[in-house]
Structures are given as structure tokens and as C-alpha cells.
Structure 1
């Protein structure tokens, strides 16, 4: 019998927005699809470009973005940056993809573009080439549902809202208060409502991909599906579906792992507020003394750009002397490896969605200190719906910080949260295993792409 040449599987274009929390899950999705036989094109901006050598099997397509070398990524300028990148990148993305297609051997079929919700210029490019596009959600369904409801809440007169309503529950969202849905750090409600990233009305994508777990968000996923009856695929947590890929834009300091090896099981509080949050120096000092006074071992990520002030020494000398070997401070940590370590018993986090999934996947309960945007919603769900964390809403001062750490790491309340987190870990493990909901959803996504 003659050897048969199997048809080449098509290319899938992955278009992430250039923030760490957006790039990581999309590269993980690309790895998962590549493992199912697809060829992968990463269409990326020059700003925050991923490292091609970490993914030698992918084709990288640099997109000129016409940004300054160090664009302003502060929360106040974030919507402006999203608009600028989409405006600047649409035509270069179209031209680069056209060049790739014309230079191919005729068998390089592009099946679809999978794009980050806020890299929406990809939609117009997909329509130009008459290929399907799929929307990838980097936020949980609970957040997407709330953002999609903002125009309705505005029409009903619920927003903007006076300060007297901050503690009131949001109609239709029994877990959320109005203070949890504030967008003031992004601009006025008028600005937000007019922004493309907060509405689905004008979108023409053919399916939704969610980096979430059915078990965690079944109600929210069902409600979103009713509003937008398109195929949807909950394939998370993607860091567990594609665990071997390196996606960090920063170099992690792995020496902290040997320090963790010397600590007692579940004794360490891991502290990291993500890749973008900026804190005042006085807040960092209060955090430092709260950690020191708790007497708990801690691993603390202090980025070089964490403080709003440009100073080399963010921590007082007496703090370093006070904690000695009980503390380990790094500029960036291999977070998945840290959270998987048996010594880690709690995670003081900004509640970005990737960090939340990584923590829950390892059964680590959280102290929730949201910094901006959707993190407030994540923190509220973690603490009041899923019962997997403590929502820190006090002033960031050393005594409340100390008490929050002890509540999580020592008190009975923390032990109960840890048991809840361990049960969630097992549910997630089942979801990503063969026959589980996320595993089967990824297979269904592959079948959809092959059908294009």
C-alpha cells in the first residue's frame, strides 16, 4: 500500500494584546492548539514582543505599532493605549498577513484569527480576508457579563451612581456592590460606555473562547450564552492545558525555590500584585511592616517598577534586619512553580485573572487586594461567592495587614478557606483531564477550526 501524505493542518493566527496578563494565556492557547496539529502564527506588536526562541515551532509576525519606546501603561492612560494600538496596528496587520499568504506555497491556509477581546482591530483584518475570527476572553465570564451590562444599567439610571450607593448591590448581580464595578480609574462612565472593549454589539466574531472552568462559572457562562448564542469553549485554566510553555515577559528569579524548600509546609505567604500595578512608597512600607509583624515566612515580589517614586531602595534597612531569613524578596518569581510548592499556604494577590487561576489550580487560598478594573470583581467573587479568599478592604496599614495575614495563615477561617481551595483544585484537575469539561472543550474548539 502506498504511503499516504496526510493533508497539512491549517494555520491559526493568534493576536494578543501586548500586556503580560493577555500574552500569557494566548501563548498557552497557541501551545494547546499546536499540540493538536495546527500551525501557529503569533501576530504581535513590537511593544512587549514575546520571545520567539521560547516557542520555536511558531511563526512570529511582528506588527509595527508606531508606539514610543516606553509608552505610558498607567491605568489612567490604558483606554487611550488600547485605542492607539488598535488604530495603529490594523493596516500593518493586514499587510503582514497578506505578505505571509502570498509568500506561501499554496498549502498554507489560514483557517481563522483568534484575537484578544481588546485587540479588536483583528476583526476587520479577518473580514478583509474573508476568514472567521474567534474572540478570546482574558477575563472571567463574571466580568464580561458585568461589562456587557453597563449600557443597560446606564439606561435604567443605575449608573453613574452617587457615593451614597457604593455599598448597594448591583441589580442583576447579587454578589456585586456598586463600588466593585467602579471604572473611575479608567475614566468617566461615559468614556467607558463609548469604548469598544466594553460592548459586544458591534462585534462579528463566530465563537467565544474562555480561559475559565465550567465548574467555577457555570451560571455566568450560561447567562452570557443566552445573550450571545454563539459556540463557546471554556478551556481553562490554560496554564494547566499547556504547562510547558514559557510566556513571561520578565526574567524570573528561580533562587526563591531553594528558599521555599527550607520552609515548613503551608507556612509561606506569597505576595505579588502582578506586572502592572504601581504602589506608593509609603504603602510598600506598610506592607513590609505588616509582613514583618505577622511573624510568618514570606516570599515577596518587588518589581523594579513597583513604586510610583523612582528609588533604588524601597525598603527600610531596619525591615531587612528584622525579618532576616524569614523573608525572601525577588524582582520577579516563577509564579506557577511557586504556587505549586508545598511550602506556600497563601497568596496575597491583586486578583488578576491569570494569578487567580494559578492559585486556585494549586489549592492556595488568597488575600484579595485588587488594584484596578476587573480585579475588584474577581476579588468579590473569590471572597463572597466561591469562598476561596479574604477581601482586604481596610486601609493599607501595617496592623490591618498583619491581622489579614494571620486570619489566612493561622486562624480557623484560613483553614476553612484552604479546604475550599483544595476542593477547587481537585475539581479543576478533573476538568483538564481526559474526559473533563475543559479537555473536551479544547477538542471541540479544534474540530470547529478544522471545519472552517
Structure 2
């Protein structure tokens, strides 16, 4: 398993200490519960975490999981989905769009929000950005955001939520700017999309380590001394991750490995059959 900085442990989150204590107790409970079940299944695949599965042979990978082959069934949707973004993607060039989504919990302060927005604008690339209603704290004026949307109209699309599995499978995608939640990570892997990592808390830092250091299928943003990722940093890292031929090749190799694991006779396929058989006993 990749090494992890102590400040990036799953319970290390911004906010009051009692929040960290609550998350620590939650993860401690997870750890204590692992000796109880007869089998533990997980949403991963053998080639993604070979060493970890060697260390923990009782954990059985059956992923990467998804709703159905045609991606018609939405899963895990927390907000009303804007499917209009799929038509917008259809109108974009192949491998041109930067997709930006930070999951269900990440919150940006106004300064970071503005740096991200201005960075996306200055890339000159088409982008699809998921901005939840609660994505940022107070402090952003409606006039500023309206002005931003007016400037990027036609080049960028902003939605409150989207059908992510379908978006990541779209040929217009060039890169995924992600918080590195595990669902998002596996969906990016399965669809062969390079990832620019921007982790927030919990397992996301470990997932970043897999993406950047183990699989080498993406890069990570670096925060300044004030904790803010600048627009210049975003622009620079986006160009690097999109134009790196080595990353592109490794992304394809990991995608193919994920798909083989799900195919008949693959490791995840066989593990899933064993799991079903166990349930049927």
C-alpha cells in the first residue's frame, strides 16, 4: 500500500477537533468490524491494488462496479441530474473537454472558488463543471458569478449535478479534475480518463497516491503556502496531464485491465460469481 503522510490520515479534515474525533471513531469502527464477516467484498480489481490484496487475501475485489453496460441506470445520485450536458458534450471535439467535479461533500471557500473558476476560464479549453448548490461558503456575489458565466458561455457548461458515469464514458473527455473519491477514481479508471487530483479528506489522499505514484495515470495540484490552489497552478497541471503521452498510455493499460477483470473469466467476474454462490447457500 502506498505510504501516506500523517496529516492525510482519513480523519484529518478541516474544521474543529471534534469533527476529526468523530471521523476517527468511525474509521476505527470499520477496522474493528473486519474480523466479523465471512467475506468482505470491495469495489476494486486485482490489478489496481495487487500488493494490498496480497496483504489482505480475505478482501475480495468485484469491481469496478457500475450500473449496466450501457450506463442507462443512474446510481448514487444525490442531486437532480442535468442530462443536457450530454448533448453539450456531443457537440465538443474528441478529447477536448475538462470535466470538473468534487463529489458530494467538498466545500470551497470563496477565494478558492474564484481561483478555480478563473483558471478554467483562462485554459481556453471547453469545460464541464459540477457546482452543487452548497459547493461554496458565503462570500461570492451573484454579480461576480453571473459575470463569470456570461464570459464562459459557449465554452464552459456549469451544472448542479450530472450523470457522471455517462460523462466519463464520453469521447469528448480529455481530463477529470477530481477530489479522488473512490467511486470517481474507479469510474475514471474504467473509462480511461487521466485525472488531475485535488483531494479534500478521508481516503482521497491515499487514492491520489495510487493515481500519481502507483498507477501514474494523473498528477496532483499543489497548494500554496496559504492553502489555496492558484489559477496558474491549475492551468499548468492541466496542460501537463493532458499532453503527457506516458500518462495517456498508462491510462489505457489500466482501463484495459479493469475491463478484463469484469469480462467473463476475469478476476472480478469470478469473484462476483463466488459471492453470489455464497449468498445462495
Call closer, same or farther: CA 1:193–1:337 in 2, change over 3 Å.
closer
Higher mean alpha-carbon deviation, 389-398 vs 180-189, is at 180-189
- Report the equivalent of 2:204: 375
Count of residue pairs the alignment pairs up: 271
Structure 1 gaps, min length 5: 1-141, 143-172
Tell me what 1:78 maps to.
Answer: none
Equivalent residue number for residue 247 of structure 2 = 417
Q: Does 1:358 align with 2:187?
A: yes
Distance 1:178 1:338 in 2: 34
Q: Which structure would you say has the larger Rg?
A: 1
Indicate if the aligned counterparts of 2:67 and 2:73 stay in contact, CA closer than 8 A: no
Deviation at 1:191, TM superposition (A): 6.2
- Retained in 2: the 8 A contact 1:241–1:432? no
Moved more, 332-341 or 182-191: 182-191
> Which of the numbers 141, 152, 163 marks the counterpart of 1:323?
152
Contact 1:281 1:314 in 2 (8 A): no
How has the CA–CA distance of structure 1 residues 312 and 440 changed in structure 2, closer, same or farther, with 3 Å as cutoff?
farther
Q: 1:312 to 1:224 in 2, by over 3 A?
A: farther
Change (3 A) 1:450 1:198: closer
1:403 aligns with: 236
Q: Report 1:62-211 matches (<5 A).
A: 173=2, 175-181=3-9, 183-185=11-13, 187=17, 194-195=25-26, 196-200=28-32, 203-211=35-43
Query: Which residue of structure 2 aligns with residue 348 of structure 1?
Result: 177
Pairing 1:239–2:66 present: yes
In structure 1, what is the Cα distance between the partners aligned to 2:237 and 2:157?
A: 20
Relative distance call for 1:430 and 1:184 in structure 2 (3 A) is closer
Shift of 1:434: 0.7
How much has 1:177 moved relative to structure 2? Answer: 3.0
Match of 2:263 in 1: 433
Q: Kindly tell me: are residues 429 and 324 of structure 1, through their superposed partners in 2, closer, same or farther at Cα, counting changes over 3 Å?
A: same
Other-structure match for 1:220: 52
Measured against aligned partners, the alpha-carbon deviations of 1:156-175 in whole angstroms (never above 9, x if no partner) come to xxxxxxxxxxxxxxxxx5x4
Alignment TM-score, normalising by the size of structure 1: 0.56
Aligned residue in 2 for 1:282? 111
**Structure-2 residue corresponding to 1:302:** 131
Gaps of 5+ in 2: none
Paired with 1:191 and 1:276, the residues of 2 have a C-alpha distance of 16
- Whether the 8 Å contact between 2:190 and 2:258 is mirrored in structure 1 is yes
Cross-structure match for 1:92: none
TM-score, normalization by structure 2: 0.88
Instruction: Measure, in 2, the Cα distance between the counterparts of 1:394 and 1:266.
Output: 27
CA distance in 2, matches of 1:425, 1:194: 35
Rate the CA distance shift 1:441–1:425 in 2: closer, same or farther, 3 A. same
Kindly indicate whether the alpha-carbon contact (under 8 Å) linking 1:240 and 1:432 is maintained by their aligned counterparts in 2.
no
1:317 CA drift (Å) = 3.7
Q: Distance in 2 between matches of 1:317 and 1:190?
A: 39
The match for 1:391 is 220
The 3 A distance-change label for structure 1 pair 301 and 201 is closer
**SS at 1:271 equivalent:** strand
For 1:289, what is the secondary structure of its paired residue? helix
Shift of 1:391: 1.2
Task: Report the Cα offset of residue 319 of structure 1.
Answer: 2.4
Deviations 1:316-346 (A, max 9, x none): 3442233231101111011011111100010
* Root mean square deviation of aligned Cα: 2.4
Partner in structure 2 of residue 48 of structure 1: none
Q: CA deviation at 1:425?
A: 1.1
